[in-house]
Amino acid sequence: MGVDIKTHIISRAEPVFDENGFAATGMDRLTQAAQVSSRTLYKHLGGKTELICAVLDARRQRFFDQLDVDSVDALFAALETWARTEGARGCFFLRAQGEMGGREPAVAAQVSNYRRELHERIARVLANDLGEAADGDLLDQILVLFEGATSMASYRGPAAFAAARSAAARLLNRTTGHANQ
C-alpha cells in the first residue's frame, strides 16, 4: 500500500473539520472524504474523538514545520503563506477547544500541546532575531500579535498579517511603515 490508511483518513478529515466545524461534521462525511467504509475508519481510529485528536496532532506538526524560521518578520510571513494556502478560518485549535475541549479532555490536551509549542517557537524565533533571549513582556506582545493576526485574517485577510508584521517591527525597534516620532 502507498501510505497507510490511518494517515490517509487523518489527512482527508482535516479540511473537512476545518471547513465544517468539529461537532457539526458527521462520520459519514469523514468516511466519504477518505473514501473508506465506516468500519475501516473505526478499526483504524477508534472513534470520532480519537480522530479529532489525531487530526489536531497532525496539523500541529505540519503547522510548526512550516513556521521553522529565523526572524519575527519571517514568522509572520510564514503565517501569511500558511493562511493563503490553507485558508484562514480562525485558530483551528481555539475552535477545537471551544467546540470539544470542555467535554473531551483528550482534545483539550492536544490544544495545550499546540499552545506550549507555539510559545516555545516564538521564544526561539525571537531569541534568534535579537541575538539574546527576549524578556517575557516582549514575547507576550508578539504572541498577542500572532493570535490577533490569526483571528483577524478570518474576516480581513492579508491586511491582518500586514498589520501584525509592521507592529512587530516597531516593537522590535525596527521602524517600518510609520515614522517613529
Q: Which residues bind DNA (CB under 7 A)?
A: 5, 25-28, 35-40, 42-44, 47-49
| Among the listed residues 8, 95, 121, 124, the single contact to its own copies using CB under 8 A | 95
Q: How far is it, in rounded angstroms, from Cα 164 to Cα 77?
A: 10
Contact 123, 143 (CB under 8 A): no
| Among the listed residues 8, 62, 115, 124, the single contact to its own copies using CB under 8 A | 115
Q: How far is it, in rounded angstroms, from Cα 156 to Cα 168?
A: 18
3-state DSSP: the chain helix, strand, coil percent, rounded to 5?
A: 75, 0, 25
Q: Which part of the chain contacts its own copies (CB under 8 A), choosing from 40-48, 67-75, 125-133, 150-158?
A: 150-158
25 touches, from its own copies, DNA, none (C-beta below 5 to 8 Å by class): DNA
Of 9-68, binders to its own copies (CB under 8 A) are: 19-21, 23-24
Q: Produce one character per residue of 42-64: b if its CB has 16 or more CB atoms within 10 Å, e if not.
A: eebbeebbebbbbbbeebbeebe
| Among the listed residues 91, 107, 122, 126, the single contact to its own copies using CB under 8 A | 91
| Among the listed residues 102, 109, 120, 127, the single contact to its own copies using CB under 8 A | 102
Decide: is 138 part of the binding site for its own copies (CB under 8 A). Answer: yes
